[in-house]
Amino acid sequence: MNQESQDIIVQPDPLREFATTLYQKAGVSVEHAELMAELQVETDLRNVHSHGTRMLAWYVRSMLSGEMNAKPEIRVVQEAPGIAVIDGDNGLGHPPSALAMKMAIEKAKSAGIGAAGVRNAGHFGAAACYSMMAAEEKMIGFATTNTGGPSVGAPGAAAAVIANNPLSYALPAGEERPIVLDMACGASSWGKVRTLQMYGKPIPPGWLLTADGVPTEDPDEGRILTPAAGPRGYGLGLTMGILAGPLVGGLMACHKHQGEPSEHFFIAINVSSFTDFAAYADEIDRGIRAIHATKAAEGVDQVYLPGEIEWLKREAWVNDGIPLHVDHLRELASVAGELGVEICWEW
C-alpha cells in the first residue's frame, strides 16, 4: 500500500476547531485549548505529524486518567531581569512553554538576552514551536526539553542513559524565510520511528537497540535509540538535559522514570542589541541565496536550508489540506467518541 492511499486530507481550520473542542471536553480552559490546537495543527502543517495532533489522544487520555492536570495553576516561581522559571503544575507542556518564551522575548528587549525555564510540566510538542516565536520578533530563538525517562543510549552502553532531547534554533532573515533547525539528539525521534512503522516502511539500520542493547531494525523490539552521530549526539543530548533539567530545578533523565513530568528551557537573543538588524538580515539573506545557488549532487534538485522543506509543506498544505494517516485519524476519532465529539473529516 502506498503512502497516498493511507492518508486522508483534512483542512487545517476544521482540524483546529476539532482539537480545541476535544481539549475543552477534557477539562482544558478555552485559552489553553485554543493554544494547543494552534500549535499542534501548525506542527502538522510543517509535516512533523509525530509531534502534532497525533499526540492529542495521549495528552487527552493522560488528563482523563488523572496522570496530568487539565486545569493547572501555572506560576512564575523565580524571576530576575534576564530570567524566569515557571512551574507548570503537572499540566500540558505547551501553555507554560509558550509563556516562558514570551517572557524570554520581553526580557531580551531590554537585556539583550532573555532565558526562561519550565519545570513540572508535560511534553511540549515540537521544539520549533517556541524558537519560531522569537524569530517572529526579529530575535534568535532557542528551545530544548528534558523529557521523562531515559530512552537513548551512550556510545558503548547497553542501556538508555539520556532522554531524546531535541534542540531547535530559529534564526530570522530579511526577505527570505527564517532558518529553523529542529533536531533530536538521538538517531531519530521516537515519533519518526512510529511514523515509519505506521506506513510500513523499514527502520534504518543503526537507529534502534533492544532492551539488551542488541542492534535491531524491528520497531516492536526497539527499546533504546542510538545517539545521533555517536558521541556528538550523546553529548548534545546530555547537555540539553542539564539546561532543561537541573538548571530549572528538575532531574537528569538517568534519575527519572518514564511518565514523570518534563522540564523545558528557552532563550531569546535580541539581534538588534548586538548589531544592526537590517545589516544582519541582509547577510543572512545573502547566505541563504548562496546556499541555494550551490551546485547540487547528481539526482538532487536543490540544496535546502534547515527547516526549508517544512516551510514549503506548510505553504502548500495551508490551502490544499493536510494529509494525515488513517490510523492517526482513527485514534483521534476514538478519543472523540469517548468525549462525544463529532469528527471533522470524511472517511
End-to-end CA distance of the chain: 17
Nearest to 122, CA basis, from 177, 56, 186, 183: 56
161/48 same-domain check: no
| DSSP code for 143 | E
What letter represents residue 305's amino acid? L
Q: Is residue 221 part of a domain?
A: no
Q: Is residue 98 part of a domain?
A: yes
258/175 same-domain check: yes
3-state DSSP assignment of residue 184 = strand
Q: Is residue 65 part of a domain?
A: yes
* CATH number of 343's domain: 1.10.1530.10
53/90 same-domain check: no
For the chain, the domain total comes to: 2
Q: Is residue 200 part of a domain?
A: no
- Confidence at residue 1, expressed as pLDDT on a 0 to 100 scale: 41
140/258 same-domain check: yes
- Confidence at residue 230, expressed as pLDDT on a 0 to 100 scale: 96
- Confidence at residue 100, expressed as pLDDT on a 0 to 100 scale: 99
- Confidence at residue 3, expressed as pLDDT on a 0 to 100 scale: 62
50/140 same-domain check: no
65/83 same-domain check: no
104/175 same-domain check: yes
Q: Is 207 exposed, middle or buried, given 0-12, 13-18 or 19+ CB atoms closer than 10 A?
A: buried
Q: Is residue 19 part of a domain?
A: yes
78/52 same-domain check: no
pLDDT in tens, 220-267: 999 999 999 999 999 999 999 999 999 999 999 999 988 789 999 999
Taking 70 as the pLDDT cut, the residues of the chain under it are 1-4
Q: Is residue 302 part of a domain?
A: no
12/152 same-domain check: no
Q: pTM of the full predicted structure?
A: 0.95
pLDDT in tens, 181-224: 999 999 999 989 999 999 999 999 999 999 999 999 999 999 99
Q: Is residue 85 part of a domain?
A: yes
176/111 same-domain check: yes
247/108 same-domain check: yes
Q: How confident is the prediction for the chain on average, in pLDDT?
A: 96
167/258 same-domain check: yes
Q: Is residue 46 part of a domain?
A: yes
Domain that holds residue 231: 73-186+227-293
